[in-house]
């Protein structure tokens, strides 16, 4: 079902974005350390990145509520509230990382 696929894709995209932002923060900290830059170099950028990270986590919470609401719609329309197993997630194509 298209709704299931797109919901899972949205959930996976949020996870990917969170992982990439975490990786970026780690890289920024390593670069600051490796270049012997001062302890506050890039601090504003890291604060904004952290705020963006918090926004994604909040979006994940909202998406979880969407998921829950769609289960209720499914129950109202189809007469059952059952979340399909996650096996189809493994069938999603993996994007090649570009550096």
Of 52, 71, 69, 48, the residue nearest 14 (C-alpha): 52
Rounded to two decimals, what is the model's pTM?
Answer: 0.74
Residue 84 sits in which domain range? 2-90
Distance CA(57)–CA(41), nearest Å, equals 26
Does 26 fall in a domain? Answer: yes
Please provide the size of the chain in residues: 99
The pLDDT tens digits for 16-62 are 999 999 999 999 999 999 999 999 999 999 999 999 999 999 999 99
CB crowding 50-81: b at 16 or more within 10 Å, else e:
eeebeebeeebeeeeeeeeeeeeebeeeeeee
Q: List Cβ neighbours of 75 (8 Å cut-off, separation of 6 or more).
A: 81
CA distance 57 to 92: 23
Q: pLDDT digit string (tens) for 56-71?
A: 999 999 999 999 899 8
Number of domains in the chain: 1
61, part of any domain: yes
Q: Is residue 49 part of a domain?
A: yes
């Amino acid at each position: 079902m298209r709704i299931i696929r797109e919901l899972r894709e949205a959930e996976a995209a949020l996870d990917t974005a969170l992982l990439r932002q975490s990786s970026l923060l780690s890289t920024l900290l390593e670069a600051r350390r490796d270049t012997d830059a001062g302890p506050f170099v890039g601090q504003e950028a890291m604060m904004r990145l952290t705020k963006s990270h918090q926004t994604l986590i909040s979006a994940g919470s909202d998406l979880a509520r969407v998921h829950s609401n769609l289960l209720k719609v499914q129950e109202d329309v189809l007469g059952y509230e059952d979340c399909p197993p996650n096996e189809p997630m493994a069938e999603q194509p993996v994007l090649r990382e570009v550096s």
